[in-house]
Amino acid sequence: MTSRFPRWLVGTALARHVLPFEEAIRQAVLELAAALPAGALVLDAGAGETQYAPCFSRQRYVGVDLAVGDAEWDYGSLDVISDLTRLPFASGSFDACLNIVTLEHLPEPASALTETGRVLKPGGVLLLAAPLVWEIHQAPHDFFRFTSYGVRYLLEKAGYTEIAVRPVGGFFRLLTRLLLYGLRFFPAPLRYLVALLAAPVALVLPIFNFLDRDRIFALGYVCTARKPS
C-alpha cells in the first residue's frame, strides 16, 4: 500500500499532522536502518516498488514481492519475485525483515510470518506495519484488516518474541483520513473547490485526537518483534 497523496508532503510537519500512519511507518523504517550495522542483510518482504531501499544504503537490501498487487506499479527494481510463504532463501539468512502494509494482501498471513521468521537470523528483528481501518486497495489482492490482538496473536504463533504493537491514529485522525480520501470522488475542477472547504476541517480534527485515549479507531499498527536467539 502506498499513499496517493503528493510526494512533497513526505517528512513534513503537515504530513505528520494529517497522514500519521504513513509518517509513523517512514520513521520506524529510518530508525531500523539507523540501528542496523553497516553490511547487515535486510529483507523487504512485500517490497512493491522498493520505496524503502534508499533507507538502507549502508546495508544490503533485498526486495521481494509477488508483483501482482498493482497493475500501475513498476516492479522492475525487485531483486526476487516470490510468494512470501515460500521464500527462496536459506534459513537464518537475514539480520532484519520489513513487512510494510503487506500482510493484508496475503491469503495466508500466518504462513508468511512463519516464513520470514525462518529466514531471519536468531535475534533478527521484524518491522511490521498492518492496517486496521483502510480503504480497499490493490483489489482483488486485499484480504484482511488486523486488530492489535490479531497482530500479536499471529506474531506469537509464528514464534516471535519481544513483540511491541503500537497503534497509530485515532478517531479524529481517522476522520481526517476519510475526509482527504473523499476528495477523489469529486471530478476536477469541483475537487479543488471541495478541497479548499475541507482543508480547515482536516487541519483541525487531529487536534482532538487525544480524546481517543485507547486508539480504538487506530488507522493501523507499527510493530516490532524478534526471532529468539
Please check the confidence at residue 2 and state whether its pLDDT lies above 70: no
- 155-172 pLDDT tens trace: 999 999 999 999 999 999
pLDDT at residue 1 is higher than 50 = no
User: Percentage of the chain with pLDDT > 70?
Assistant: 96
Whether pLDDT at 14 is above 50: yes
**Cα-trace Rg, the chain:** 18
Residue 66 confidence class, pLDDT cut points 50, 70, 90: very high
pLDDT of residue 6: 60
Average pLDDT, the chain: 94
Q: Is pLDDT at 132 greater than 50 in this prediction?
A: yes
The 10s digit of each residue's pLDDT in 70-120 is 888 999 999 999 999 999 999 999 999 999 999 999 999 999 999 999 999
pLDDT of residue 10: 72
**What pLDDT is recorded for position 119?**
98
Which residues contact residue 65 at a Cβ distance below 8 angstroms, ignoring those fewer than 6 apart? 46, 47, 48, 75, 78, 81, 82
**100 has which bridge partners?**
129
Better-predicted residue by pLDDT, 19 or 173? 173
Domain ranges, ordered by start, for the chain:
7-170+216-226, 171-211
What CATH fold (topology level) applies to the domain 7-170+216-226? Answer: Rossmann fold (3.40.50)
**pLDDT for res 221:** 98
pLDDT of 13 = 82
What global pTM score does this model have? 0.92
